[in-house]
Amino acid sequence: MLSALRPLRADGFGAVLDTDLTDPTTLGLAADLKEALHRHRVLVVPGQHLNHADLLAIAACFGEVDTDVDRRYAVGGFPGLTTISNILEDGHRVGVYDGDQEEEWHADNCFKPNLTGVTLLYSVIAPDQGGQTRIADATTAYAALPADVRQRIENLRAVHSIQHLATLQNQASGQSSVAAGTLALQPEVEHPLVLTHPVTRARSLLLGSMAVRQVVGLAPPESSSLLAELLAHVTGPRYVYSHRWKAGDLVVWDNRAVLHTASPCDSSRNQRLLYRAAVL
Determine the pLDDT at residue 176.
52
Per-residue model confidence (pLDDT) at position 180: 43
Question: pLDDT digit string (tens) for 234-261?
Answer: 999 999 999 999 999 999 999 999 999 9
pLDDT band at residue 89 under the 50/70/90 scheme: confident
The backbone torsions φ and ψ at residue 140, rounded to the nearest 5 degrees and listed phi first, read -65, -35
Contact 1, 32 (CB under 8 A): yes
85 membership: H or E segment, kind and range: strand 82-85
Q: What is the pLDDT of residues 133-175, one digit of tens each?
A: 999 999 999 999 999 999 999 999 999 988 866 676 555 554 5
Number of domains the chain is built from? 1
pTM: 0.93
Where in the sequence is the domain holding 71, given as residue range(s)?
5-279
pLDDT of residue 4: 83
228 or 25: which carries more pLDDT confidence? 228
Partners of 134 in beta bridges: 242, 261
Percent of the chain with pLDDT over 70: 90
Helix (H, G, I), strand (E, B) or coil at 6: strand
CB 79 within 8 A of CB 67: yes
- pLDDT band at residue 179, thresholds of 50, 70 and 90? very low
Pair 235, 136: CB distance under 8 Å: yes
> Which candidate, 21, 29, 55, 37, places its Cα nearest to that of 135?
37
* CATH value at residue 210: 3.60.130.10
Angle at 223 between CA 156 and CA 160, to 5 degrees: 65
Distance of CA 226 to the CA centre of its chain: 22
